[in-house]
Amino acid sequence: MTEPYVIDLPSFVNDDRGGLDQLFDEKEKPFTLKRVYRIQLLKDIIRAFHGHRAEFKGLYVPHGIVKFIAIDMAYDSLAKPTVDNSYIFSYVLSQKKPQLLVIPPNFYNGFKALVDDSEVICFSSSSLEESKEDDFRVAWDKFGEDIWKVNPR
């Protein structure tokens, strides 16, 4: 199983003029890019869960802070799944640290903005038509509500 993973993105300039972060590099691409789109999020609204058997996604947060959950689609076939096992992956991405979260095929994924006016830029290996033919959805709370909580530290 290929698990979701995070790529730290290079920041080339951060000075009095602003900043420049590289989002995608032909030499280091994790998948073939066919589509890019933006999602604007409202704080505490959960958008979940959907998955794909063939599509790779890259998720980048240019503004705000977003919690992402990825769940192996094989989790559905377990007799008594628990939320504290190796099938569930949780990530928090922020505009303060440029990163790309790569979601491979066979994972449900969803996200929740932790602050107002958060955005996600999505990079996809599939066209919109291909993605619609490869779309599997389950309820946001199918795997429990606790996975969306932010635990105090």
pLDDT range class, residue 143, cuts 50, 70, 90: confident
Whether cis (ω within 30° of 0) applies to the bond prior to 49 is: yes
Residue 72 lies in a domain: yes
Q: What is the pLDDT of residue 48?
A: 95
Amino acid at 22: Q
pLDDT for residue 82 is more than 70 = no
Residue 81 lies in a domain: yes
Residue 42 lies in a domain: yes
Amino acid at 77: S
Residue 102 lies in a domain: yes
Residue 39 lies in a domain: yes
> Strand, helix or coil at 99?
strand
Q: What domain count does the chain have?
A: 1
Q: What is the CATH number of the domain that holds 49?
A: 2.60.120.10
Q: Which residues contact 91 (CB under 8 A, 6 or more apart)?
A: 4, 6, 67, 68, 70, 101
Question: Which residue range(s) make up the domain with 107?
Answer: 5-10+30-140
Percent residues over pLDDT 90 in the chain:
63
pTM: 0.88
